[in-house]
């Protein structure tokens, strides 16, 4: 069992629905912000030297910087509600280190001819290629989807997310005062990545496979842009809701719970834990409903 030293309650706070909702909301914003940054970078600007061009370039640069730097700080402020001693700057620095590690793995392809990122992209391409053949032949059934080449793609997802979650998990585990909690945070991150990656691929397989081919939204209709943002924010929200499940259990075991909070759906009670556990599939259902409404409106 995880040790319950006397100083742990002072380092941990119970996860409430407010904290849970804030974490899921911020997680949903992460792919939206990265999409906005990619769109701003790919935005075409006039070739002349007018004031409009300079103003547009400055605005795009400011938007790119904000959407790139804001997410780790937003995450840090939410995590601080659970870990009061967490430094938002240290957390943001840890995310920066993880990004550098990811980029190092990415650019190692130029030296060795193949990299973990390259292998992952190839696995994802093979998965989508097989799914596209099934789509052309017939509407893919559940049995056909299960038989797709998931293993290489999921192994890559586990490997790259284990690598990039080491530093942030070490920061959270050290701040919590529970060294063995580092493993729990790694497992939470990897589990969230696997679940959200599967959901993302299922969105592409069962809807329009061209949505995710390019990350930026340039050249798309407004209806397509809205639908892409809805889908990507759903993937982020599912990641956040999934990663929160083991943390909620840890909070329930170690953090002091409010004595007066006797509501059946409070997160430290069985009803709340059940709701947190079934939240990811509920998010998927809500996303499908909203996407269907957007498609119906666009076709009118």
| pLDDT at 168 (0 to 100) | 95
| pLDDT at 260 (0 to 100) | 44
CA 219 – CA 4 distance, rounded (Å): 55
pLDDT by residue, tens only, the chain of 300 residues:
344 444 445 577 888 899 999 999 999 999 999 999 999 998 887 777 777 888 888 899 999 999 999 999 999 999 999 899 999 999 999 999 999 888 887 776 555 545 556 666 676 777 776 666 666 556 666 666 777 778 788 888 898 899 999 999 999 999 988 878 899 999 999 999 999 999 988 887 776 554 555 778 888 888 888 888 999 999 999 999 999 998 888 877 765 655 445 667 777 777 888 899 999 999 999 998 888 787 777 666
Residue 95 contacts by C-beta under 8 Å, 6 or more apart in sequence? 71, 72, 75, 168
CA 126 – CA 17 distance, rounded (Å): 40
| Distances from the Cα of 15 to the Cα of 8, 31, 73, 90, angstroms | 14, 24, 19, 21
| pLDDT at 166 (0 to 100) | 94
| pLDDT at 205 (0 to 100) | 76
The alpha helices in the chain, defined as continuous H runs, are 8-11, 17-41, 51-82, 88-107, 109-112, 116-137, 142-146, 150-164, 166-176, 181-206, 222-254, 270-299
pTM, entire model: 0.85
């Amino acid at each position: 069992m995880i040790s319950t030293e006397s100083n742990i309650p002072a380092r941990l706070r119970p996860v409430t629905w407010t904290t849970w909702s804030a974490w899921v909301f911020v997680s949903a914003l992460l792919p939206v912000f990265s999409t906005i940054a990619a769109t701003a970078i790919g935005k075409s600007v006039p070739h002349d030297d007018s004031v409009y061009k300079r103003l547009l370039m400055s605005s795009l640069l400011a938007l790119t910087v904000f959407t790139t730097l804001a997410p780790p700080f937003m995450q840090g402020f939410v995590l601080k509600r659970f870990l009061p001693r967490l430094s938002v700057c240290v957390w943001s620095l840890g995310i920066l280190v993880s990004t550098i590690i990811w980029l190092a793995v990415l650019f190692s392809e130029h030296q060795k001819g193949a990299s973990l990122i390259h292998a992952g992209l190839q696995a994802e391409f093979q998965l989508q290629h097989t799914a596209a053949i099934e789509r052309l032949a017939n509407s893919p059934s559940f049995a056909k989807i299960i038989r797709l080449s998931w293993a290489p793609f999921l192994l890559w997802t586990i490997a790259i997310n284990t690598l990039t979650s080491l530093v942030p998990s070490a920061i959270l585990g050290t701040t919590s005062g529970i060294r063995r909690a580092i493993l729990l945070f790694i497992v939470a991150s990897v589990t969230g990545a696997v679940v959200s990656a599967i959901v993302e691929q299922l969105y592409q397989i069962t809807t329009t496979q061209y949505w995710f081919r390019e990350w930026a939204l340039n050249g798309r209709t407004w209806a397509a842009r809205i639908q892409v943002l809805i889908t990507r924010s759903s993937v982020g929200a599912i990641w956040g809701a999934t990663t929160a499940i083991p943390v909620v259990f840890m909070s329930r075991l170690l953090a002091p719970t409010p004595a007066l909070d006797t509501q059946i759906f409070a997160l430290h009670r069985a009803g709340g834990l059940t709701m947190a556990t079934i939240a990811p599939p509920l998010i998927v259902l809500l996303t499908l409903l909203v996407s269907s409404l957007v498609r119906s409106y666009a076709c009118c």
